[in-house]
Chains A and B, each alone.
Chain A
Amino acid sequence: MLTTVNAFLAAKGIYLLTFILFSLGTAGMIVCNNYMKKLICMNIMQVAVIFFFLCLGQKNGGTFPVALSEAVRAEEYINPLPHGLMLTAIVVSLGTTGVGLSLLLRLLRIREKYGTVEEDEIIRREQKI
């Protein structure tokens, strides 16, 4: 029994952790009322997805994907493809975070001016002026 659980956790345990991280991000985006916290939770979700892809690239007995000698055998190095894809994903997530923050600033400005962020209310007050 214990060995079964052990083998299961060794084979699939890291997926459980990434799924918990992903769920934390999703639940935070749903539950939190603060937009800043929603943005942070979105980042946590992205990090979980990145971890998931990096987990898929692992190999037993493999080192980092820089060729150490002339003769290269594929079993000796971990998979470089998820690393390459996730490198660009990290940088693009930085851009999306920046756009989200700027939208947040814009929203704050609308809130300062109109006292609400509901579209109907803003249009009504705009017509009143």
Chain B
Amino acid sequence: MRKALTVLLLTAAITLPFMFFDILPDIGDPASAPNSHVSDYYIEHAIDECNSPNMVTAVIVDYRAFDTMFETTVMFLAGVAVILILAYHPKRRLIVPSRFRRFDARTGEPMYNTVNKDVMVSIIQALILIYAIYVLFHGEVSLGGGFQAGALIGMTYLLDVMVCRREVPLFRLGKFKAAGTAGLGPFIYAVTGLLPFIGGGLYLQYSKLPFPVHEAELHSIGITIVEIGVTIGVAGTIIAIINALRERIAFDDEL
């Protein structure tokens, strides 16, 4: 009762000022403020200026490329922060508490009689990885992008770790190697930003990349390289966070 009252009061307090004073625009109104000024420019010039029919990708990695670069860096720092907070002991003693020991993998006997989940998960993982590659490389011409592909790869690893409990995981990345991989992503992004200096351009100006192709193609190449960097960064961060959380390394005060 008390909780329901809290939710009701909070909803009323937040909703009433917004709903009845016309601060918010109507849903679906093409002339409303968020839909009128800068977004029209993005929609109408995405193909001419960025050679990217997917306007979301054009906004993320071309018009607002600086923003995305530091978002990727934030992801990398989050992965590093998780590892640092769960700091490891120098002896690297892996502690499995006795109350978790009975959940260990039972080899030999299948858990279910109906579907062998190890076989099924292997098939599903392959399909998810193919889909991730597709989403990555078609990011600028159809729906997709680097963040989604990275999240798909990370979720594949999560599926592998949580469902199968194999001896050898899908990606042989410990938490430190995974964090290093996550740092590689922003590095690729930043180096791609530096390349146009050779052609006499500005930072992240894809049309001045030093490749001998047409200017529109240069935009596609730049967007693809940057999205590969974003994918590596996001996937590495997710794998680093998962590994750091599930490896119960002793804390530095535990011995």
A99 touches B81 (CB 8 A): yes
For the A-B complex, the count of residue pairs with Cβ-Cβ distances under 8 Å equals: 171
Query: How distant is B158 from chain A, measured CB to nearest CB, in Å?
Result: 11
Return the contact of A16 from the options B15, B34, B53, B241 (Cβ within 8 A): B15
How many chain-A residues does the 8 Å CB contact rule pick out? Answer: 57
Return the contact of B82 from the options A12, A62, A99 (Cβ within 8 A): A99
| A14: nearest chain-B partner, CB-CB | B27
Write the A12-53 contact mask toward B (1 if CB under 8 angstroms, else 0).
Answer: 111110011011101100110000000000000000000000
B28 touches A60 (CB 8 A): yes
Contacts of A56 in B (CB 8 A): 25, 32, 34-35
Given A16-B15, A59-B35, A66-B55: A102 and B245 interface contact (C-beta under 8 Å): yes
Contacts of B165 in A (CB 8 A): none
| A70: nearest chain-B partner, CB-CB | B47
Contacts of B18 in A (CB 8 A): 15, 19
Contacts of A24 in B (CB 8 A): 7
Contacts of B42 in A (CB 8 A): 80-81
Beta-carbon contacts under 8 Å, B31-59 to A: 32, 34-35, 38-40, 42-44, 46-47, 53-56, 58-59
Beta-carbon contacts under 8 Å, B119-154 to A: 142-143, 145, 147-148, 150-151
A-B contact pairs, 26 of them (CB 8 A): A12-B27, A15-B27, A24-B7, A27-B7, A27-B10, A55-B27, A56-B34, A67-B55, A72-B44, A74-B39, A79-B43, A80-B58, A81-B34, A81-B42, A82-B34, A84-B56, A88-B67, A91-B75, A95-B78, A95-B241, A98-B79, A98-B241, A99-B85, A102-B86, A102-B245, A105-B86
- Which 8 pairs of residues, A with B, have the shortest CB-CB distance? A95-B78, A98-B241, A80-B55, A23-B10, A60-B28, A84-B59, A11-B26, A74-B40
Q: Which A residues lie at the B interface, using CB under 8 A?
A: 10-16, 19-20, 22-24, 26-27, 30-31, 55-62, 64-67, 70, 72-75, 77, 79-84, 87-88, 90-92, 94-96, 98-99, 101-103, 105-106, 109, 113
Q: Which B residues lie at the A interface, using CB under 8 A?
A: 2-3, 6-7, 10-11, 14-15, 18-19, 24-30, 32, 34-35, 38-40, 42-44, 46-47, 53-56, 58-60, 64, 67-68, 71, 74-75, 77-79, 81-82, 85-86, 142-143, 145, 147-148, 150-151, 234, 237-238, 241, 244-245, 251, 253-254
